[in-house]
């Protein structure tokens, strides 16, 4: 845990305490937006460079995975980062795990060591077993085989968490952390910069190893829920593209590309 918390809110993020961004990262601050992903995508269309990071004080139409809404009251962190990865869309899925590991590093350095930080497949961050943060990747191509832009959106429950979620949610404030949303911007940017470099240099293997070190229910029974059903099995690990490898009761190993993970309460372990 870092010794000093400044409790910097987005509101009070004056020039004096504007976060020190890593080389190549540029911070754009907004008040209320529909969605930071949407605002950043508009900047991408206007030619904004890789490393543009947009934060907003609140969102009126924050987006979650699968078209869900992301509740976005003031006090929490809403941040999106623009990348121009010279890669195919399938390979870019790995960047969700790159972002997850970076966010996990930034958070775990700022909460008491006694409170576990975990990665829940594919890109959620859990604090003490409850969802603290989510990541939403959105991308576009110019018609070729490679991506033109990739926006990584991160939402972190700093002061409050939604009450009505299928998987329980939590906020940093519930664990005695007095951080403000502004306190997390630079640490996230630095961790992201580090892990993107690592991914570009060494590929997915070190990212996957770091993700495994904090993985939620790897080697245990899980239920993966879809819109129209669910599958249960043992969560074996991640395939090379980040798909979940699930060993089902019949012994078959399945690859899952989407779904929401829950503990399988009907199974041992
Ligand atoms: C999820 O877990 O469903 C992903 C949630 C991602 C929320 C963040 S908040 C900042 C960025 N802007 C959005 O509209 N969504 C992401």
Residue among 10, 54, 55, 64 to mutate when testing ligand 1 (max atoms within 8 A of CB):
64
State the DSSP code for 36: H
* pLDDT under 50: residue ranges of the chain: 1-5
Q: Atom 7 (ligand 1): residue with closest C-alpha?
A: 155
CA of 248 to the centre of ligand 1 (A): 31
Q: Are 60 and 33 in contact (CB under 8 A)?
A: yes
Structure token pair of residue 36:
């930071």
CA of 79 to the centre of ligand 1 (A): 8
Whole-number pLDDT of residue 89: 87
- What are the strands of the beta sheet with 77-83, ordered from one edge? 26-33, 52-59, 77-83, 147-156, 130-141, 124-127, 117-120
Whole-number pLDDT of residue 13: 53
Q: Helical H runs in 46-180?
A: 89-92, 94-108
CA of 32 to the centre of ligand 1 (A): 15
Q: Helical H runs in 46-204?
A: 89-92, 94-108, 181-202
168-191: burial string, b at 16+ Cβ within 10 Å, e else? ebbbbbbeebebbbbbbbbbbbbb
């Amino acid at each position: 845990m870092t010794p000093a918390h400044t409790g910097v809110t987005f509101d009070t993020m004056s020039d004096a305490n504007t976060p020190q961004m890593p080389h190549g990262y540029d911070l754009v601050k907004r008040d209320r937006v529909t969605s930071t992903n949407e605002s950043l995508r508009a900047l991408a269309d206007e030619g904004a460079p890789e490393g543009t990071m947009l934060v907003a004080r609140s969102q009126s139409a924050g987006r979650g995975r699968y078209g869900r809404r992301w509740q976005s009251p003031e006090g929490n962190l809403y941040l999106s980062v623009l990348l121009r990865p010279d890669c195919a869309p399938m390979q870019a899925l790995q960047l969700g795990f790159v972002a997850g590991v970076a966010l996990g590093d930034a958070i775990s350095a700022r909460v008491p060591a006694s409170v576990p930080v975990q990665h829940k497949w594919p890109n959620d961050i859990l604090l003490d077993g409850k969802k603290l943060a989510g990541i939403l990747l959105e991308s576009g191509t110019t018609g070729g085989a490679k991506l033109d832009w990739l926006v990584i959106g991160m939402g972190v429950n700093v002061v409050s968490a939604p009450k009505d979620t299928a998987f329980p949610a939590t906020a940093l404030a519930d664990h005695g952390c007095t951080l403000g949303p502004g306190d997390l911007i630079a640490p996230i940017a630095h961790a992201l910069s580090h892990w993107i470099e690592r991914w570009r240099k060494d590929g997915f293997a070190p990212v996957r190893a770091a993700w495994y070190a904090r993985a939620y229910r790897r080697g245990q029974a899980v239920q993966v829920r879809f819109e129209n059903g669910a599958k249960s099995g043992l969560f074996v690990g991640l395939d090379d593209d980040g798909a979940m490898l699930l060993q089902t009761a019949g012994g078959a190993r399945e690859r899952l590309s989407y779904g929401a993970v829950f503990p399988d309460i009907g199974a041992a372990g």
